[in-house]
Amino acid sequence: MALIVHKYGGTSMGSVERIKNVAKRVAKWHKAGHKMVVVPSAMSGETNRLLGLARDITPQPDPRELDMIASTGEQVSVGLLAIALHAEGLEAVSYAGWQVPIKTDSAFTKARISEIDGGRVLADLDAGKVVVITGFQGVDPEGHIATLGRGGSDTSAVAIAAALAADECLIYTDVDGVYTTDPRVVEEARRLDRVTFEEMLEMASLGSKVLQIRSVEFAGKYQVKTRVLSSLTDPLIPLEEEMHSGTLITFEEDETMEKAVISGIAFQRDEARIAVMGVPDKPGIAYQILGPVADANIDIDMIIQNTSVDGKTDFTFTVGRGDYQRATEILNTQVKDHVKAERVLGDPKVSKVSVVGVGMRSHVGIASTMFRTLSEEGINIQMISTSEIKISVLIDEKYTELAVRALHKAFELDQA
Amino acid sequence: MALIVHKYGGTSMGSVERIKNVAKRVAKWHKAGHKMVVVPSAMSGETNRLLGLARDITPQPDPRELDMIASTGEQVSVGLLAIALHAEGLEAVSYAGWQVPIKTDSAFTKARISEIDGGRVLADLDAGKVVVITGFQGVDPEGHIATLGRGGSDTSAVAIAAALAADECLIYTDVDGVYTTDPRVVEEARRLDRVTFEEMLEMASLGSKVLQIRSVEFAGKYQVKTRVLSSLTDPLIPLEEEMHSGTLITFEEDETMEKAVISGIAFQRDEARIAVMGVPDKPGIAYQILGPVADANIDIDMIIQNTSVDGKTDFTFTVGRGDYQRATEILNTQVKDHVKAERVLGDPKVSKVSVVGVGMRSHVGIASTMFRTLSEEGINIQMISTSEIKISVLIDEKYTELAVRALHKAFELDQA
């Protein structure tokens, strides 16, 4: 008998029929003797509908009130799921985040969980109840509802699993696990049986949108055994089969088996590159260039500063494509003359492609294999950025698929 | 400067445009220097949509979970209204019932308010904020959300007004006040400028569905000056005009003006009459007959027991038409033989018509005028029931309109 947390996404909760299927699946686990906590998202489309109502009133609604509104989607879900569990003959009770309570800071629409008091939930579990808890939300120190941002239910589930010292957190989603790369781009992409949370972190941050990145951070920090698996299987498939399906995110490197050097190829389209050329190389220059951009709430991703020549340097960075125009405008009006730059250049049509793997730490030659492969395909590398377990390159967007396929093959990811 | 509570129904909150109009109206009051608390219902149709989802899962959903689900309708409304108030340039903050807190008992789906802590709201008002509070709901001693039942937002508004010692509670609705009778039945029906809360109580309980009856009880118990007025006027009509419109429910009889003897004619269709005939007249017989009916959650309205003849009596009562079949079935199967009744008779097509007025206390002859009027129209009276301020008769349903019109004229309600 274990304590298990299930998380179901909006698609899994998308209709009365699907909610009944979720209840059937949870009932199967409960009947096998497990203590069950379930964290559902809002029914698909509901959060957008609610935010749409608010934005119809005013384009920039108050974040505190947005959270008041958006949090109701999950509250409806937990009530409906509890009712569906009753219909399966189980005792079940639903809680909104504030009822647990799941405590957060006051950063409305992007709050972070600070503390979860698991006492009430554990008492219900001991009494044989299934406990259904709203994802995506908690309560701040002043008693206001605060949401965790898009995808926040993943984080809720993992954080709840951590607080309850759950044996495993199962994230049910409409894909059946984490792949070596996007199967829509590379037909030979393979599902990984396991990845380390660090790899998952890089995958998530690089655009493999299986899990919200903060949930992965939580899983790593609190060592929560987390599994990503499909909610599209028959809810009554044998438990033994289900509990070994999907991809397990581990917080320890598996020493008993030969670990692949590279776990996957991640990529992110819709990037834009901006270069501020011929800037006098003085202390503080990076802040003078990026400060105004960050102040406009534009996320900056890769940053490169070239070695200076004749006291001048080039400064290049990437932003999301949606922010490209605004960012170049800010640079041209507020920054260029101020920092005495020669010119501002840019390319709004670039992609980032990355190879990710903890094995990289102990293997040389990953970078050269990557660069050779791209070179053989005639793909020019515009920028390079590296971390301990990943190498990212920026390329012309039109080569994205070609690059991903070539790298997937070069690192033999199609072979188990 | 006064402390004013506004309550808006689902129709007034039915669309983004209407919510903006509510905000304009509230802003007008706030700008005139009043401290404003607003209690909106869920957007029209929303509560039914939510309950429908739950009933699609299982026909008899758990009441505690139903409340979890249904309470979200008002939570969305308060958030949207707060945002609309911001757009009007006001500071505003929304609270769900549990955040105030509005404390209730644990009778889910029909909870009663036990206590309201107004401290937080008063602090916000002192800081110049408009406070928007969910109607229809509160939180029970264990921290579960509990709703007050259909129309509960009226009760929330009046209870909040009582807790805050508000100067007036304005209930905005899609009718412009309380009428001498239903204007759809009697063209000459007049809007009353004021009614006493006792008259309103009888009117509400007798089917004039302007206000939830518990809200009127609250208004009486805590002497809350409550006004029913139209939400369909231009939100920017002069404040002076608006604050004297509608119908004021007073908790004191107005001694300075000649009071009409009768304030209105109320009526309730969809009643059914059931008679248990020839029952031995023994102590406890009423309980033996009505107990099983009440146990089946069937509301019983009028009750009459005839003087016994030869140790036998007839026992007659009314129920809602929807419960008629179930009630007669219970009587025939569980009661009739047990109490040794001769037979069970019934008529599922009757109406109750009542004359209501505090003036009745000090005037004789109301009953005789009523009975004479009905007699002149050839309408047979099946049952009579009286209270201090009303006389009700049960008649064949097909005479409802005729009876109401004749009584309205007989008591000169068409004349101001």
Q: What is the per-residue pLDDT across B347-399, written as a single tens digit (0 to 9) for each?
A: 999 999 999 988 787 677 888 899 999 999 999 998 888 888 889 999 999 99
* pLDDT value of position B183: 86
Is the model more confident about A340 or about B206?
A340
**Residue among B212, B208, B230 at smallest CA distance from B356:** B208
Instruction: State yes or no: B74 annotated in a binding site.
Output: yes
Tokens at A397, concatenated: 């967007």
Cβ of A144 within 8 Å of Cβ of B99? The answer is yes
Contact B86 A145 (CB under 8 A): no
Tell if the CB–CB gap between B16 and A56 is shorter than 8 Å. yes
Asked if A98's CB is within 8 angstroms of B53's CB, the reply is no
Q: Is B92 helix (H, G, I), strand (E, B) or coil?
A: strand
Which residues sit opposite B353 in a β-bridge? B267, B393
Whole-structure pTM value: 0.83
Q: Residue A87 is nearest to which of B57, B98, B145, comparing CB atoms?
A: B57
Q: Is A59 exposed, middle or buried (0-12, 13-18, 19+ CB in 10 A)?
A: exposed
**What is the Cα–Cα distance from A129 to A30, expressed in whole angstroms?**
9
- Total Cβ atoms within 10 A of residue B185: 16
Could you tell me the end-to-end alpha-carbon distance of chain A, in angstroms, rounded to an integer?
A: 33
Q: How many CB atoms lie within 10 A of CB A387?
A: 14
As a residue count, chain B comes to: 416
Q: What are the beta bridge partners of residue A39?
A: A7
Range 131-160 of A in CB contact (< 8 A) with B: 143-145
Q: In chain A, what residues touch B69 (CB-CB under 8 Å)? A: 75-76, 79-80
- Smallest CA–CA separation between B296 and chain A, in Å? 23
The answer to whether B377 is annotated as binding is: no
Is the Cβ pair B68, A145 closer than 8 Å? no
Give dist(CA A400, CA A267) in Å, integer: 8
- Alpha-carbon gap: B61 to the closest alpha carbon of chain A (Å): 6
CATH, domain B264-410, list 3.30.2130.10, 3.90.1150.10, 3.60.15.10, 3.40.190.10: 3.30.2130.10
The long-range contacts involving A314-317, CB below 8 angstroms and separated by at least 24 positions, are A314/A275, A314/A276, A314/A277, A314/A278, A314/A279, A315/A275, A315/A276, A315/A277, A315/A279, A315/A285, A315/A286, A315/A289, A316/A273, A316/A274, A316/A275, A316/A276, A316/A383, A317/A273, A317/A274, A317/A290
Among chain A residues, CA nearest to B134: A68
CB distance A312 to A262 below 8 Å: no
Helix (H, G, I), strand (E, B) or coil at A380: coil
Average pLDDT, chain B: 91
- Alpha carbon B144 to its chain centroid, in Å, reads 25
Contact A79/B143, CB-based, under 8 Å? no
As given in the structure block, the two tokens for residue A414 are 């199609």
> How confident is the model at residue B124, as a pLDDT?
98
Pick A58's closest partner by Cβ from B50, B75, B86: B86
The residue of chain B nearest to residue A83, with distances taken between CA atoms, is B61
**What topology is assigned to B3-250 in CATH?**
Carbamate kinase (3.40.1160)
Cβ–Cβ gap B69/A76 under 8 Å: yes
**pLDDT tier at B254, thresholds 50, 70, 90:** low
* B174 marked among binding-site residues: yes
Shortest distance between the Cα of B142 and any Cα of chain A, in A, equals: 10
The amino acid occupying position A405 is R
Grouping H, G, I as helix, E, B as strand and the rest as coil, residue A61 is: coil
Per-residue pLDDT reduced to its tens digit, A97-150: 999 999 999 999 989 999 999 999 999 999 999 999 999 999 999 999 999 987
Low-confidence ranges of chain A (pLDDT < 70): 205-209, 252-260, 416
Condensed to tens digits (0 to 9), the pLDDT of residues B118-128 reads 999 999 999 99
Is B75 in contact with A57 (Cβ distance < 8 A)? no
8 A C-beta contact, residue B359 and residue B260: yes
Q: Do A84 and B145 touch (CB under 8 A)?
A: no
Residue of A nearest to B77 (CA): A69
Helices (H), A7-62: 16-31, 46-57
From chain A, pick out residues whose CB is under 8 angstroms from the CB of B80: 53-54, 57, 65, 69
**Is-contact A53 B43, C-beta < 8 A?**
no
Please give the pLDDT value at position B199. 87
Closest CA–CA distance from residue A17 to any residue of chain B (Å): 8
Q: Where are the beta strands (DSSP E) in B82-186?
A: 92-95, 102-104, 113-116, 130-133, 137-139, 145-147, 168-173
Tokens, residue A348:
């709004």
**Residues B17-37: b if buried by 16+ CB within 10 A, e if exposed:** ebbbbbbbbbbbbbeeebbbb
Mean per-residue pLDDT, B261-266: 88
CB contact set of B231 (below 8 Å; sequence gap of 6+): B8, B9, B11, B12, B22, B25, B172, B173, B174
* Encoded tokens for A336: 């260029």
What CATH code would you report for A3-175+210-250?
3.40.1160.10
Which one-letter DSSP state was computed for residue B191?
A: B
- The CA distance from A362 to A314, in Å, is 33
Nearest CB partner across the interface for B50, out of A62, A76, A82: A76
**Partner-chain contact B79 A54, CB within 8 Å:** yes
| A53 closest CB neighbour out of B16, B54, B66 | B16
**Exposed / middle / buried, residue A326 (Cβ in 10 Å: 0-12, 13-18, 19+):** middle
What pLDDT is attached to residue B236? 95
User: Are B83 and A65 inside 8 Å of each other by CB?
Assistant: yes
User: Which positions 31-90 of B are in contact with A (Cβ < 8 Å)?
Assistant: 50, 53-54, 56-58, 61-62, 64-66, 68-69, 71-72, 75-76, 78-80, 82-84, 86-87
Q: Is B258 helix (H, G, I), strand (E, B) or coil?
A: coil
Instruction: Give me the phi and psi of A361, to 5 degrees please.
Output: -55, -40
Residues 180-209 of A with CB under 8 A from B: none
- State residue B256's pLDDT score: 45
B82 vs A68: CB contact, 8 Å cut-off?
Answer: yes
Q: Where are the domains of chain B?
A: 3-250, 264-410
Nearest to A263 by CA among A220, A320, A208: A208
Q: Report the run of H or E that residue A60 belongs to, with start and end.
A: none
Q: In what order do the strands lie in the sheet with A137-139?
A: A113-116, A102-104, A137-139, A145-147
- Side chain identity at residue B174, one-letter code: D
Which chain B residues are closer than 8 Å to A75 by Cβ?
A: 68-69, 71-72, 75
Q: Chain B: residue nearest A132 by CA? A: B65
Q: Do A58 and B16 touch (CB under 8 A)?
A: no
Contact A61 B94 (CB under 8 A): no
DSSP string, A120-147: HHHHHHHTT-EEEE-SSEEE-TTS-EEE
Is a pLDDT exceeding 50 seen at residue B109? Answer: yes
Instruction: Cite the beta strand spans of B242-367 per DSSP E.
Output: 247-250, 264-280, 300-305, 312-320, 343-356
Chain A residue at shortest CA distance from B69: A76
Do B79 and A68 lie within an 8 Å CB cutoff? yes
Identity at A126, one-letter amino acid code? D
Q: Nearest residue on chain B to A15, judged by CA atoms?
A: B53
CB spacing of B58 vs A87 below 8 angstroms: yes
Question: Taking residues B15-44, what's their average pLDDT?
Answer: 97
Residues of chain B contacting residue A15, judged by C-beta atoms under 8 Å apart: none
* Confidence band, pLDDT 50/70/90 cuts, at residue B207: low
Annotate B308-328 with DSSP letters as a single string: PBTTEEEEEEEEEGGGHHHHH
Burial readout B40-54 (b: 16 or more C-beta within 10 A, e: otherwise):
bbbbbebbeebbebb
> Is there a contact between A80 and B16 if contact means CB atoms under 8 Å apart?
no
Chain B nearest CA to A400, separation (Å): 42
CB contact at 8 A, B382 and B376: no
Residue of B49, B83, B108 to mutate for A, most A C-beta atoms under 10 A:
B83
- Facing A57 at nearest CB: one of B50, B57, B83: B83
For every residue of B212-229, DSSP letters joined together read -HHHHHHHHHTT--EEEE
3-state secondary structure of A353: strand
Contact (Cβ atoms closer than 8 angstroms) between residue A202 and residue A390: yes
Binding-site annotation, residues of A for substrate: 47, 74
Give residue A257's pLDDT: 45
Residue whose entry in the numeric block shows the structure tokens 């949401």 = A147
